[in-house]
Structure 1
Amino acid sequence: MVTGAGAGAVATGFAGLPGAVALSHLSVYDWPAADGVCGGSPHLHLTCSEAYVVTGGRGAVQTLTASGYEVTPLVPGTVAWFTPGTIHRLVNEDDLRITVLMQNNGLPEAGDAVLTLPPEYLTDPETYAAATTVPADAPEEERERAARARRDLALEGYRALRDADGPEPLAAFHRAAAALVRPRLAEWRERWERGARAAAAATGDQLDRLEDGDVSHLADAVVRVEQPAQYGKFGMCGRLDVYRGT
């Protein structure tokens, strides 16, 4: 039987979305930026892989890694995904709509994403938060202004990284992003233990039961239905319909 972190969740199975993923529907911003391109805020994730399932419209995702800069076209039916450390910028060419699957449900909302702000905004969590927070209770016009401002600031840093001569500016951004999130790592570990680790442990427990001829967990089967917990949230890349999945 499974022991350790997540063991308490295995008796009845993990209750969240399959594999402890996060799910959202995304309408990518159609706001033009200084370079004439419409789209969202470039950023990376430190511990979470992300997948795009394109459901409508047309666009692209610009990515920047230590291997270089790439542009991947996005059309209906495309499934594109990338690993932690991939700086990505969504581009909206014609009403781009995506279903987003994110590893480690809960971690992205807990600060796993770091925007590519210029270095002076990455010095400490307070400075970063002041430049990136969209006030949840403000009128929509104010929230849109804040989301646009942080997008434009992230693009400023992103262009510098993309156009840099040599690997050090990107490596410096990686170090700064890691330093920003370090105070939250204990909280992230707890979320991971309740989520992805518990989901994997539940499968291991079920395999153990089946090997022993124990099918009792099948009698605990349930069906769950969920509607978005929030509609039209101002996300980094666009307006989000968010499912909690827990």
Structure 2
Amino acid sequence: MATILITGATAGVGRYLTRRLAGRGETVLAHGRDAAKLDALVKELDGAPGRVRPYVADLASLAEVRDLAGRVAADHDRLDVLVNNAGVGSGRPEGRTLTRDGHELRFAVNYLAPVLLTRLLLPRLRAAAPARVVNEGSLGQEEIDFADLTMARRYSGTMAYCRSKLALAAWSFDLADELRADRIAVNCIHPATYMDTDMVRDAGVAPWSTVEDGGEAVLQLIDAPPDVTGEFFDGARRSRAHDAAYDPGVRSRLRAATAAALE
């Protein structure tokens, strides 16, 4: 029985994964921002072969990310899989929004939160090695303006989303290199294009694919052999991220900017 943390577990791919994994007997640590939705999910899966443990946190707050990691680490000696699934899409909220920490919202939730949460849980992942980190990214990626990370000069929700997903991919490759010797596989995946989710509908896009399509692709990566690491997947297929995600200069600047943001 594996212990698997899924962020954003109350909707979309996160909910699908929670139900599938609990159904096959895993212990699922289900994160969500809404306590009532989490409680409803736990009750729904009460009779499943596996266990579902709820964890409430707002990933837009770095303090709450730290608190979430602390609670997970206190409750569990090991963590077999971390799925960084939660995110903010390109639609709502409309307009540029800063978090209480002063970061652009999409960069904070889609990138900084996964980085911080993963870093804080590395001791539990090492204890479970071979372990896995699955970062849910997107084919929508755009180069980052490191001189304007809060996007004060030029902003759109789509641009902010794509920049956060480029950062996530580049960091995934860096982390995979760092943790290879620890037997912790790190991969980034675009689960499916325009799935039938609230995030897609909020962006005003008609869905092209189902949540099941994306969920099964992520599940396949969760179950992949431990030597599959440092890869970018488009659904079930190995693919390639934006060229900038492989650029050593970009990755070096991203490391420095991330360290400063998480001080």
Q: Does the TM-score normalized on the shorter chain lie above 0.5?
A: no
The structure where helix makes up a greater share of residues is: 2
Q: Which has the higher contact order (CA 8 A, sep 6+)?
A: 1
The structure where strand makes up a greater share of residues is: 1
Query: TM-score of the superposition, structure 2-length normalised?
Result: 0.29
Query: TM-score of the superposition, structure 1-length normalised?
Result: 0.31
